[in-house]
Amino acid sequence: MGTVLGLSFRQLGGRWRLTIIFLLVALQIGLAITVKVLAGEEEDFVEGFINIMLDGLLVGAVLPLVTMALATASFGNEMDDRTLSYIVLKPLARWRIALPKLLASIVIAGPILALSGAFSTVLGLDADVQTAAAVGVGLFVGVAAYASIFTWLGLRSSRALAFALVYVLLWEGLISSFIHGVDYLSVRGYTLAIMHGMDTEALTVLEVRTIEFPAAAGGAALAIVAFFWLTVRRLQRMDVP
């Protein structure tokens, strides 16, 4: 399993992927600073920052984009260059192949997004440790859930990145914004609810559109486990050239 994990790190740690990740992270930190400097004294600044910067930009865009850039490529590289057979033919249980692929995406994206999100929150809201931790933990859970979904998708289709974009734009973005019940089946909904549940006072703006904290934590855990199981099952059943 360690060999597969090391191979996954080398594949996902390519220059262009890391460049995209750091550009997106730098963008949201830079915007947080700019917004704070230009509009920090306005009466409704806190509400606007949480709605636009935290929810709209960080959770709604940066989180899924960074994670999909990594996770859809976890198996995508082997699928494209037809080297998956070399891994599958090894005497390894299929979960020992799927788990390192999932962990590689989480280990790369999770800390970067959690720390940058917490840092942006401190800069923008003058937040304390509890609020920063709430944002960081919520983002890390969101990375894990998205990574599990997109890793499976990368194994299912050679057009995984395109399907992931459609899923994020339509389901996580458009549909979940207008139909509140969709949040119970939405990674974005889980992420925001975990943030709010960990700091209901500072992030009270999120209360009107988040689900219950236990439902969010349980839903995220279920999504991670379910799509990991689907990935393992796909490896067991697929015909590898």
Query: For residue 178, what pLDDT is reported?
Result: 79
Length of the chain: 241
Query: For residue 83, what pLDDT is reported?
Result: 65
Counting DSSP H helices and E strands in the chain, the numbers are 12, 0
Query: For residue 144, what pLDDT is reported?
Result: 98
Compute CA distances 32 → 58, 79, 200, 228, whole Å: 10, 39, 21, 34
Query: For residue 166, what pLDDT is reported?
Result: 93
Query: For residue 13, what pLDDT is reported?
Result: 73
Structure tokens, 136? 């960081």
Structure tokens, 203? 């992030």
Query: For residue 10, what pLDDT is reported?
Result: 77
Query: For residue 55, what pLDDT is reported?
Result: 92
Query: For residue 157, what pLDDT is reported?
Result: 82
Query: For residue 43, what pLDDT is reported?
Result: 65
Domain ranges of the chain: 1-240
Q: Mean pLDDT per 10-residue run, the chain (241 residues)?
A: 72 80 88 82 81 91 93 78 68 86 94 94 89 96 97 88 91 83 92 96 90 96 97 81 54
Query: For residue 148, what pLDDT is reported?
Result: 97
Query: For residue 82, what pLDDT is reported?
Result: 67
